Structures are given as structure tokens and as C-alpha cells.
Structure 1
Amino acid sequence: MSDYERIRLVILGGAGVGKSCIIKRFLMNTYTDKYRSTIEDLYNREYDLGHMTLKVDILDTAGDMQFPAMRRLCIATAHAFLLVYAVTSAPSFDCIKQCFEEIREQRGDYQDIPIVVAGNKLDLTSTHREVRIEDVSEWVYCELPKLRFVENLMISWALLPRSWSD
């Protein structure tokens, strides 16, 4: 039996920002514009890295605060975070700021945890944009210099080696 490592990636963000769509596009290369509220979905994938197998659990969380105990548990058990906001919604950016505060409060090791901030719904900015990239960059720089920010996640994932995104 080969060696393996398991990691848990937790996706946090407000309701309707596209967390589930990002996950399904990445894992299954599918997309739907029909909205279905998520309570919590767990996706598992294994990636053969040659010298080991990487087992990834991707936790798709609820976009609202109806389940605070579940949210605390997923923050406590995460190895990495993807904080998603919609560039068309200023309140969704405020929501990821709150998510980050929860991570900071619950995890003493938050500075060592990989955290990516992702702006979604970039395709809708020709008609409507509420979150300026400068505001996000400033917040990321001030809060945690190790934090990473990407606005076009689908293009960024397309640049991953094929063995990771198959």
C-alpha cells in the first residue's frame, strides 16, 4: 500500500457567491446556473503524486450562519481555506472578512494555514461590479501578508498540472 496524506479544504463564503459551482466546475467540469442552497456537502478526491497519494476532502459549507456549530467544527478541522466572494456583491466581501475573523479567533495557527481569497462571478462585471480589486488587495495585504488572492479562479485552476485537475 502506498503512502498517503489527507487534507481538508474548507470553502467559506456568503450564500449565492458560487462556492458549489466552483467546486463542481473544478471536480466534474460541469456548471449550472440554477441556485440550490447548500447545508454542507463533502467531496473526496485522490491524486497520485508519484511518491504518494494525496487524499483531498473538499467541504462545501452553508453560505449563511444558520449552523454556527457546524461552521466552528469545519474551521477547527481544516488544513486550508478558500474564502469566496462575488465581485458583484459588496456584502459577500464583508462576509468573507467575517469568515476570516472566525478563523483567526478559532485557530491560533491561522498564519500557518493556506488561505486563498477568490473573487467569483467575474463574468458579470461588464454590467455590475461592487467590489473593487484594490479594496480586496488592500484588505489581504493588511490582514495577512501570506494570504493569497485570485479573482479569476477558473483560469488559475486551469493552470494546474493535469494530474491535479483530472
Structure 2
Amino acid sequence: MESHGHGSAIEHYRVVVMGTAEAGKSALVQRLLHGEFTDGYTPTVEALYPFTEGKPANCEKISIEVLDTAGSYNFPDMQRIYISSANIILLVYSPDNYESYKEVLKLRELIKDQLEDKVVGMDVRMVVVSTKSDIDHKQQKITLAEAELEFIQWDIPVVETSAKENTGFEALRSYIADYIGKRKTGGKQKHRLSRLLSKIMKSKSDDEEGT
């Protein structure tokens, strides 16, 4: 998504995080953007996080924001609004909650239908995110292998993460950076820009780890 104008226009990209309540969306967002983790569950109404701090000079015309959506949608049209505003959609589930996985499957169908209806006039990248990889495997209702087998047919990557242990976020940032890099450069110089964007997305996390 790009703002209109000449020369100094800033290109805006939105990452939308969707999934059921208690799937771990907010913990995922906090770790992704700020390198922070807070234990405990607080229901999310809706939160938009612009992430423009600490950007390299080469990327001054790029703005990235993350929309952490509510887990329960009071209005059916809200899901379509979220989708229509997205460049990248993170479909989040918790492996110990099969209902959260079923919701991701439903959301994938909704996104596919909406794209086919041309409600969204642009390419949208989906990434499935499995949270809480630190939990005991005996508690898992859906394994990573099962999820990968399900989504590989649609060319949707599955990333296993743990906000608590700070694992999987490098891969997640890489998917986000690669997508934006392709749109920004038209497929050219992707790797250079991806490195810059990855630097943007993880700058605060690196600062946190260095303290």
C-alpha cells in the first residue's frame, strides 16, 4: 500500500495478525516488534503498532505497521476489513488449542474467497504462525508437520515460534522482509533490501538481547 505523491511519498505496508483469542497473537507481536515477553493473558480489543524507529537511512521512505486484531470478531465484516487493509497476514494458532487451528483454516478460506472476488486489489502474503513451541509435546493437539502438510498445497509457509523463548522470529521477520523487498524492488535487489528490512524489524529485539 503506497501513499500518493511525488518524490517524497512514503510507502506503507501493513502486517495484520489474525487468530482466535488466547492463540498468542499479542505476545507474538510484542516479541516481534519490541523483543519483549509478558506472561499472562490480557484480551486484545485492537491495537495498531507503527514500526518506524531505528530505520537505516536507505529505508526512510518505508513505513511498516502491525495490526493486532481482536480474537473474537463482534462484526463479521471486520474480518474482511482487516484482510482488505493487509499486505501480509499472519494466521496465528496455538498447537495446544485445536479450535485456534480450525479458525486459521477458516480464515484462509475467507482470504482466498475475498481475493478471488477481487475485494482486495493486490497480492496478499499469508504466513501461518504456530505459537508456544515451548510447551510439552504431549499437550499439542496439532503438530508442526501436520500444519506444514496442510498448508504446503497453497504455498503458505508455517513458522513455529515461542515468544517466551524468543525462537522462530528470525524466520518470521525474513518472510515479512522478503515480501516487502519483492514489492519494493519489483523482484530486483531483493536480498539487499530484505536485509535492510530485517534490520528494521529486529532492531529493538537485538537491543533487548544486548542488555
Deviation digits for residues 16-68 of structure 1 (CA, Å, limit 9, x no counterpart)? 01101111112122211221111211000124361543211211111123232
Q: How many residues align?
A: 164
What TM-score, normalized by structure 1, do the two folds share?
A: 0.86
- The structure in which a higher percent of residues are strand is 1
User: Which aligned pairs between 1:103-118 and structure 2 lie closer than 5 A?
Assistant: 103-108=111-116, 112-118=123-129
User: Which structure 1 residue ranges, 4+ long, deviate > 6 Å from structure 2?
Assistant: none
Q: Which residue of 2 aligns with 1:42?
A: 48
What TM-score, normalized by structure 2, do the two folds share?
A: 0.69
Does the C-alpha gap of structure 1 residues 49 and 152 become closer, same or farther in structure 2, counting only changes over 3 Å?
A: farther
Comparing 15-24 and 52-61, the one that deviates more: 52-61
- The structure in which a higher percent of residues are helix is 2
- Structure 1, unaligned runs of 5 or more: none
Residue 28 (structure 2) aligned to one of 16, 22, 25: 22
- Structure 2, unaligned runs of 5 or more: 1-6, 174-197, 204-211
One-letter amino acid matched to 1:31: F
- Aligned residues of 1:5 and 1:52 also touching (Cα < 8 A): no
- Aligned residues of 1:88 and 1:125 also touching (Cα < 8 A): no
1:56 and 2:80 correspond? no
Tell me how far apart the structure 2 counterparts of residues 164 and 50 of structure 1 sit (CA, whole Å). 14
1:162 and 2:168 correspond? no
Q: Which residue of 1 aligns with 2:14?
A: 8
One-letter amino acid matched to 1:70: M
**What secondary structure sits across from 2:167 in the alignment?**
helix
Deviation at 1:157, TM superposition (A): 2.3
Q: Which residue of 2 aligns with 1:121?
A: 132
Deviation at 1:3, TM superposition (A): 5.1
Q: Which residue of 2 aligns with 1:132?
A: 143
Tell me how far apart the structure 1 counterparts of residues 88 and 47 of structure 2 sit (CA, whole Å). 16
Residue 151 (structure 1) aligned to one of 125, 148, 160: 160
Tell me how far apart the structure 1 counterparts of residues 27 and 161 of structure 2 sit (CA, whole Å). 13
